[in-house]
Homo-oligomer: A and B are copies of this chain.
């Protein structure tokens, strides 16, 4: 029905699977049973299509994160929230995440689109920076190198887009809980944070097929 969405959906899949550079407009059209030219009625250019997807992805992540952070003051809680949400987004929306994390280099250097995405990314990372800074300032965290810690934790979270499978051993909630534990250990926090992951706050990426993470693997009901 919504052709524009179908295009974004197929594009996202192809970009995630083969990479932007390796994906041709022709193959995208073929995947949609369209013609080359047909695509161009809904899309300005291949690069604009990528930029659109990345922008929407970043905005969705930041917005969702802000929704989840609402009302939280405690640095440990905020860190736990950041870890959980970033993990959940990467686990549930692996295609969007892989494109967001890996295709920045495909946007023309110096283009406004590229600068915009970078700005959005910085905006998001601000949440991590401030949570860590506050934690250190308040004496709740003990960190040798803030940048190192942040990047290491973020790597751990984003890594899930590469390997998380909804039908794997662990529930998404278990993964998040585990990562939160690791994260708090990394900042030497003594806090005990039990996150309840509110999935309704996660971004809704209409172009990515929805995966229900609440379906625990068979025979392994969440405790």
B-binding residues in A (CB < 8 A) = 17-19, 21-22, 102, 105-106, 144-149, 151-156, 158-160, 162-163, 168-170, 174-175, 178-179, 181-182, 185-186
Minimum Cβ distance to chain B for residue A123 (Å): 18
12 A-B residue pairs with Cβ-Cβ distance under 8 Å, sorted by A, are A21-B21, A22-B106, A102-B102, A145-B168, A145-B178, A148-B168, A148-B170, A152-B156, A155-B156, A156-B156, A156-B159, A181-B185
Most B CB atoms within 10 A — which of A18, A146, A152?
A: A152
Candidates B145, B160, B168, B179; contact of A170 at CB < 8 Å: B145
Pairwise interchain contact B145-A163, C-beta atoms closer than 8 A: no
Known: A21-B22, A22-B106, A106-B22. A155 touches B159 (CB 8 A): yes
List residues of chain B with CB within 8 A of the CB of A21.
18-19, 21-22
Report how many copies the assembly holds: 4
Chain B residues with Cβ under 8 A from A175's Cβ? 145, 148, 152
Given the complex, which residues of B lie within 8 Å of A144, measured CB to CB? Answer: 170, 174, 178
Chain B residues with Cβ below 8 Å from A105 are 17-19, 22
Report chain B residues within 8 Å CB of A17.
105
Residues of B within 8 A of A181 (CB): 185-186
B152 and A162: CB pair below 8 A? no
**Residues in B whose Cβ lies below 8 Å from that of A168:** 145, 147-148
Closest to A103 in B: B19
Residues on B with C-beta less than 8 A from A155 are 155-156, 158-160, 162-163
Asked if A169 and B152 make an inter-chain contact with CB atoms under 8 angstroms apart, the answer reads no
Once bound together, how far apart are the Cα atoms of A168 and B87, in whole Å?
Answer: 26
A174 partner residues in chain B, CB cutoff 8 A: 144-145, 148
Contact of B178 with A148 in the complex, beta carbons under 8 Å: yes
Complex alpha-carbon distance, A156 and B152, angstroms:
6
Verify A147–B162 contact, CB threshold 8 A. Answer: no
* Contact between chains at B178 and A182 (CB < 8 Å): no
CA distance A154 to B158 in the complex (A): 12
Question: Which B residue sits closest to A185, measured CB to CB?
Answer: B185
Residues of B within 8 A of A151 (CB): 159, 162-163
Q: How far is the CA of A170 from the CA of B144 in the complex (A)?
A: 8
